[in-house]
Amino acid sequence: MTSIPAPTPEEQVIFLGKVERLLSEGQFVATYKYAVLLAIADLAVKLGSDDGSELDLPIRTIAEEFIELYWRQCAPYGNSVADGAYNILQQNRGQQAAIISIVDDLRQAHGTLVRARQSAAWTAAVTEATRLVKDMPLWRLQRLRNEVLDFLYSQSPVAGHIRLKHGVAANLRRFHAIIVRLAQSEWMHFIQALPGNAQLLGPISDLGQFLFGADRSALLRLATPLADVQKGECLYCRRRIGHGEIDHFVPWSRYPRNLAHNLVLAHTECNRHKSDLLAAEAHLDRWLARNQAHGAAISEAARTTNIIVDPGGTLSVAGWAYAHGASLGAATWVQGDEVEPLSGRWQSLFAEYE
């Protein structure tokens, strides 16, 4: 197999410029296009590579990401609306977006995303969401008013797939944080601007936290099981922990999804010092060892929450985060205010635990 070179700096700049044009010049009647872009960016991290290869993505998998993205957004927003039937945020001009009824039905019947995934209704819901993704946003995202900007993907010769073009997966991986922030902020502005949401949102709102935040209450339910597998110790300083906090090992700011195996129990102080930094390689070693020894227990504990259980995907995300950090010369957090550069040991650690 011939290896395909990674995108050049010029190609990277052109790519980002085109993403910005899709978001600023595209016509948006619903929030679907933002969701497609976010889903594809997340899947490029999980499934893609850093060379310039094309990448086939099943449209069903995009649809599953879609359901996940809308899951928490279908929670009732606020408590100011007397008529309880209408307190879900509007995601569309005119009629409520169809994805909302698919996701809301699953929520009503199963309560949590994990239970919904295990239910008999899941396959049919994904089929319905797949049809919606194909009919609506997938082939419209790359269309501007009077121009087609189809630089991201095309039909794949493999049935039911799209094919990310050369360099696209690599660029999405490299610029994941920027693209996610762009798409989320446009999504939020769209929702704020819909007249139907004005009454629900009120003058001040924590809309960003509601739409994209980390759902702290679900995380708290993992505190006890994580304390068990970490033997009552902070993952970072290994001292005993009383009331700790749940920390995202790969920081939320770098990959804003709740993945069960990415969650660790840590002191509030350790968590605050670590902030948005990657953890140093010694911590990475302990985290990988913890997941290898106790991965099944963590999966079991997350089963009744909305937290995604995907040990393989979590490992890919972490591998991506460290490779990305290394390419940027990022500082990693050791303890307190102490940071250090990556030595390269992270590569052998990932190889060891694969």
The conformational region for residue 202 under phi > 0 = left, psi -120 to 50 = alpha, else beta, is left
Interaction of residue 136 with Zn ion, rule CB under 5 A: no
Nearest distance from C-beta of residue 283 to Zn ion, angstroms = 10
Q: Return the closest-CA partner of residue 249 out of 260, 238, 241.
A: 260
Interaction of residue 246 with Zn ion, rule CB under 5 A: no
Nearer to Zn ion, 152 or 235 (CB): 235
Nearest distance from C-beta of residue 229 to Zn ion, angstroms = 16
Alpha-carbon distance of 124 to 126, in angstroms, equals: 5
- Tell me how long the chain is: 354
Between helix 98-110 and helix 121-135 the angle, nearest 10°, is 170
Site for Zn ion in 299-338 (CB under 5 A): none
Structure tokens at 308: 């995604």
Nearest distance from C-beta of residue 237 to Zn ion, angstroms = 3
Q: In this chain, which stretch among 41-49, 155-163, 235-243, 345-353 interacts with Zn ion, using CB under 5 A?
A: 235-243
Nearest distance from C-beta of residue 277 to Zn ion, angstroms = 15
Nearest distance from C-beta of residue 121 to Zn ion, angstroms = 42
* Locus of tokens 């708290």: 220
CB of 259 closer than 8 Å to CB of 317: yes
Interaction of residue 234 with Zn ion, rule CB under 5 A: yes
With CB atoms as reference, the residue minimizing the distance to Zn ion is 234
Most distant CA atoms of the chain, gap in Å: 63
Nearer to Zn ion, 236 or 287 (CB): 236
Nearest distance from C-beta of residue 269 to Zn ion, angstroms = 7
Q: In this chain, which stretch among 47-55, 143-151, 227-235, 297-305 interacts with Zn ion, using CB under 5 A?
A: 227-235
CB atoms closer than 10 angstroms to residue 97 = 23
The sign of the CA dihedral 204, 209, 212, 218 is negative
Q: In this chain, which stretch among 116-124, 173-181, 185-193, 229-237 interacts with Zn ion, using CB under 5 A?
A: 229-237
Structure tokens at 193: 């601007």
Nearest distance from C-beta of residue 258 to Zn ion, angstroms = 21
Q: Return the closest-CA partner of residue 62 out of 174, 146, 189, 152.
A: 152
Nearest distance from C-beta of residue 303 to Zn ion, angstroms = 27
Structure tokens at 48: 């893609």
Q: In this chain, which stretch among 22-30, 179-187, 226-234, 277-285 interacts with Zn ion, using CB under 5 A?
A: 226-234
Q: How many residues bind Zn ion (CB under 5 A)?
A: 5
Nearer to Zn ion, 202 or 336 (CB): 336
Structure tokens at 127: 């089929």
Question: E strands of 44-196, at which residues?
Answer: 55-58, 143-144, 147-148, 153-155, 161-164
- Tell me how far apart the terminal alpha carbons of the chain are, to the nearest angstrom: 23
Site for Zn ion in 32-71 (CB under 5 A): none
Q: DSSP states of 200-225 as a string?
A: HH-SS--HHHHHHS--HHHHHTTHHH
Residue 353 pairs with which residues in a beta bridge?
none
Site for Zn ion in 267-296 (CB under 5 A): 267, 270
Q: In this chain, which stretch among 1-9, 33-41, 263-271, 312-320 interacts with Zn ion, using CB under 5 A?
A: 263-271
Among the listed residues 237, 323, 326, 339, the single contact to Zn ion using CB under 5 A: 237
Q: In this chain, which stretch among 52-60, 161-169, 230-238, 252-260 interacts with Zn ion, using CB under 5 A?
A: 230-238
- Rule CB under 5 A: which residues touch Zn ion? 234, 236-237, 267, 270
